[in-house]
Structure 1
Amino acid sequence: MSTSLNLKVALSALVISLFVGTIQWLELQRIGLAGEQVGTLLSGTDISAEALARAPLEVRLARAVFLAARERHDEALDAYGYLVEQGGVQFRVTALYDLGNLHLRRALTHVEKNEINRALPLVELAKDAYKKALRLDPNHWDSKYNLEVAMRLLPEMDRIHRDGGEEEAEEEEGALWTTVPGFPRGLP
């Protein structure tokens, strides 16, 4: 009886090992495919909708960054809108941080063109994304830093807006950046 018991135990161990090995192999295949898809995005080529539908969240995040870098803002916003509700806490923090960066970059583009009215809501959206990220992870330093930048930028933009709108803001070109509180003004 002990021989048949040993045989059953060995056979059970073999089946379990095959099962675990198959699961690990499938995970490696998934990681390899995700790496290929991210590589495709890094090379400047978008991935197909079919591939995106089966892609893991990390690939979807890489695609959102890809879309934002190519100024396909509406598509990037849709992608981030989905991603901020998915995955674990750290993944959502990363997605919210990237979303805040997208809004802040767009706001700064409008500021450079002296389009303060268009920049204000984007700065508010950026602040909101950074605050949500910090609610999930209060120690996320990058979100803290960018939130502070956005908060320092907004009062100055409000002042320019209140003092006469975008017409007078053109006269104050550069004032937005030279008078941000807390930043040194030249050499000692």
Structure 2
Amino acid sequence: MSSFWRSAVALWREVRSALLLLALSVFAAISVFGALRWREVDAENVEIAALRVGRDISVAGDEGPELVLARIEFLGTRGEIDSARILVDALDRPGREALAAKGRYALGNALLRRAFELIERAELDGAGPFVNLSKREYRRAMQLAPYYWDAKFNFDVATRLIRDYPGFEQKHGDELEVEPKKLWTDVPGVPKGLP
């Protein structure tokens, strides 16, 4: 055996235990990290399941995006639109487009449900802004996820409730001009002219 191979075998005998110890330490660190992460994900899944069955759990905007989305859906079904809107804005981050689209869709559904409640109570003037806000949220959802069929369908429903008129768009500033009260509405089923 040549001197090169003898020195290589001697070197291997000296460093073998140190390399094995290093490999064992790296494996243990990875295992501990994986176990902690699994525990966090499991706890998050329990909270998501609780929100889906109707149990109220407080969620901050900086928690896991799936948990934030579940909270938005929970708030939307209960009509807490302002609270849901704050969390939807927390989802608007790069890499979360699909979840942000689902959040915008859930918020749009909450707004449209509110509009339908007002229409059922014959408060037609109050329903219009909620329909327009729901259309805006559906548009944002479709911008984030262009092939989101549910958002397209609900946008179409909201558009059929109240038509978009280019003359009603706000041109500048934050204040809206006061318009004279309309005698007729754009909601279907209400006459548009004289009998």
TM range (shorter): 0.7 to 0.9
Quick one: which amino acid aligns to residue 116 of structure 1?
Answer: L
Shift of 1:34: 0.8
Q: Which blocks of at least 5 consecutive residues in structure 2 are unaligned?
A: 1-10, 165-180, 191-195
Residue 60 (structure 1) shift:
2.2
Q: Given residue 164 of structure 1, which amino acid in structure 2 is its aligned partner?
A: L
Structure index of larger Rg: 2
- Does residue 9 of the first structure (1) align with residue 19 of the second (2)? yes
| Structure-2 change in CA distance of 1:71 and 1:135 (3 Å) | closer
Who is 1:46 aligned against? 56
2:189 corresponds in structure 1 to 175
Q: Which residue of 2 aligns with 1:27?
A: 37
Give the equivalent residue in structure 1 for 2:83. Answer: 75
Mapped to 1, the partners of 2:145 and 2:61 lie a distance apart of 28
Q: Which amino acid aligns with 1:11?
A: L
Question: Residue 43 and residue 121 in structure 1: after superposition, are their counterparts in 2 closer, same or farther (change >3 A)?
Answer: same
* Superposed CA offset, 1:96-145 (max 9, x none): 11111111111111111222221111111111111111112211111111
Contact 1:86–1:92 (8 Å) recurs in 2: no
TM-score (norm 1): 0.73
Matched residue, 2:125: 117
Identity %: 29
Distance 1:21 1:33 in 2: 18
Deviations 1:142-170 (A, max 9, x none): 111111111111139xxxxx97246xx9x
The structure in which a higher percent of residues are helix is 1
- Say whether the 8 Å CA contact 2:76–2:109 is kept in structure 1: no
Q: SS in structure 2 opposite 1:47?
A: coil
Query: By how many angstroms is 1:54 displaced?
Result: 7.0
Aligned residue type for 2:82: D
How large is the RMSD of aligned CA atoms in angstroms?
Answer: 2.8
1:139 aligns to what? 147
Would you say the 8 A contact 1:84–1:95 is kept in 2?
A: no
Give the C-alpha shift of residue 30 in structure 1: 0.8
Q: Tell me the residue number matched to 1:186.
A: none
Q: How far apart, CA to CA, are the structure 1 residues paired with 2:54 and 2:141?
A: 28
Q: Deviations over 1:51-70 (max 9, x none)?
A: x4774222222222222223
